[in-house]
Structure 1
Amino acid sequence: ENLRCYSSEDLIGVEIGGALKNVFAIAAGAVTGAGLGASAQAAMVTRGFVELRRIGAAFGAKAETLMGLSGLGDLLLTCSSAQSRNFAYGLALGQG
């Protein structure tokens, strides 16, 4: 009763979202690690999402997929969580 699964036939969109969020999480961690502030962090994630949509469109991903849980939802979590290995890696890079 506490688990809800969502399915998607847009495999390209799910795969692109899952792959690129890791790259953006490293960048987000680096921004945080360098102490550039919340505005820089928000700008980086926002611009990352724009690029995610552009790349997704070029490969035929559906915009709804990229704006959903497997796209934007996963991006926001991965770019802000210390539990994310990629964010933690970027954080270490940003701290030098």
Structure 2
Amino acid sequence: YNSSNTISLAALCAESVTTYHVEDADAIDPDSGTIRHRPPGAESDVDQVGWLEGSGPVRIGVTAGASTPNNKIGDAVARIFATRGIDPQRIE
């Protein structure tokens, strides 16, 4: 939450789409279907239950600040897949 670049990206996204600014992949709990995130402009985190419910297709955009390592982004994406019951190893 300390990157001004990432904070700006989250605020920009929130102008048009539902946005979840997470600190790291551990904020996404596939088992409970909960995401811990900081809404743009807020000073504290929120736990959102059922943020990715349903069985139909979804479209998700993932963005990160310039200093965020690719493996950290990949960890978050893997947890998003796991939340929907998809093994990320099976994605081509």
Q: TM-score, normalised by structure 2?
A: 0.29
Bigger Cα Rg = 1
Higher helix share: 1
The structure, 1 or 2, with the larger RCO (C-alpha pairs under 8 Å, 6+ apart) is 1
**Structure with a larger share of its residues in strand:** 2
**TM superposition score normalised by structure 1:** 0.28
